[in-house]
Amino acid sequence: MKTTEFDLISRFFAPLAESEPGAFGLTDDAASISIKEGRLIVTTDALVSGVHFPEQTPAHLIAEKLLCVNLSDLASMGAAPRAYVLSAALPGFVDDNWLESFSKSLASVQKTHGMVLIGGDTVATPGPLTLSVCMLGEVDEGKVIKRSGACPGDQIFVSGTIGDAALGLLSLHGGLAGLEPAMREELEDRYHRPRPRIDLGLRLFGLANAAVDVSDGLVADLAHLCESSSAAATLQAAKTPLSPPAQAALKANPELLTAVLTGGDDYELLFTAPRESAQALSRLALELKLPLTAIGSITESAEEKGEVRVVDENGSEISLPNKGYRHFG
């Protein structure tokens, strides 16, 4: 006998909602939760098999990525995660083993980030596995960090390292064959398992003027931030923080710089801050054990707002064939 939707929910998903009485064990029409006075932050991100992750990706990595890409959006707003709902269109191959692995991985991520599943919808699909999460976070009134606050003169910072996810995807597709297996593995892991920078986001209010997470690619997301802020930016390519495997990959093939600067899925935070924040940001980087690297500066907008000039060590402009992932490009 095949599993009914109700069995499926009670076996695999209801345990993820146990700690929230207002989720009603996922048996009611909707959840009812209390929100402390302040701002509610709401984001949604969907993943389609074969589009956002390779079809053969194991269930636990899909679950992790699904939550982490949404968490990363909360991080960029400076929000604390609170709860999420899951909408899952499941093709026929999804069986109990798959669901067990998927739901265990959700449980692990939600525990790490102190949030809870409060609802969902599980439907059958003749198409690819399609997952959508809507995530709720909380921010104290007046403490939201927006994209639109960047000011000319701000330094541009990025957390962690950039380009690992794009190189990891390249490796998954058979590229980077010359790289040591351990390095390829590290890059692939960075592609599969984003590290949402929640702790950093919670500390940026008062230091940063604007923030965005790097999902479409460093240059594209910086362009989005500049467009929202009616500003422009100069990005110093040589200052982009690279992991040891990315350094090795670029040494073997310098043309990969384009993938590093325009590839997506890094899920680091890109933010702008006035010069006077620099010292506090250095201390914060030490405290969080997370590099925060200055990679350029915000400039006055010339004709075209949102323009990003990428320059090399000599200040000469580097032209990039494409500036980031465009979903319908």
Residues 255-284 that bind a copy of itself (CB under 8 A): none
Give how far Cα 120 sits from Cα of 32, 68, 74, 89, 191, Å.
13, 17, 19, 11, 26
Give how far Cα 4 sits from Cα of 17, 18, 298, Å.
19, 21, 54
Supply the minimum distance, in Å, between the C-beta of residue 120 and a copy of itself: 6
Q: Does 17 bind a copy of itself (CB under 8 A)?
A: no
Among 11, 39, 195, 309, the residue binding a copy of itself under the rule CB under 8 A is 39
**Whose Cβ is closer to a copy of itself: residue 3's or residue 299's?**
3
Among 41, 116, 231, 257, the residue binding a copy of itself under the rule CB under 8 A is 41
Using a 10 angstrom Cβ sphere, with 0-12 exposed, 13-18 middle and 19 or more buried, the burial of residue 15 is: middle
Q: Does 2 bind a copy of itself (CB under 8 A)?
A: yes
44 vs 26: CA distance, rounded Å = 20
Supply the minimum distance, in Å, between the C-beta of residue 303 and a copy of itself: 19
Q: Does 31 bind a copy of itself (CB under 8 A)?
A: yes
User: How many positions of this chain bind a copy of itself (CB under 8 A)?
Assistant: 75
Supply the minimum distance, in Å, between the C-beta of residue 230 and a copy of itself: 12
CA angle, 310 then 314 then 316, to 5°: 45
- Local structure of residue 204 (DSSP, 8 states): -
Among 115, 139, 207, 298, the residue binding a copy of itself under the rule CB under 8 A is 139
Q: Does 195 bind a copy of itself (CB under 8 A)?
A: no
**Subset of 74-103 contacting a copy of itself (CB under 8 A):** 74, 76-77, 79, 83, 85-89
315 vs 306: CA distance, rounded Å = 19
Q: Does 46 bind a copy of itself (CB under 8 A)?
A: yes
Give the largest Cα separation in the chain, rounded. 68
Question: x/- string (CB under 8 A) for a copy of itself, residues 98-127?
Answer: --------------------xxxxxxxxxx
Q: Does 242 bind a copy of itself (CB under 8 A)?
A: no
Which residue intervals of 179-295 are DSSP H helices?
181-192, 198-203, 218-228, 244-252, 257-262, 278-288
Task: Identify the three-state secondary structure at position 327.
Answer: coil
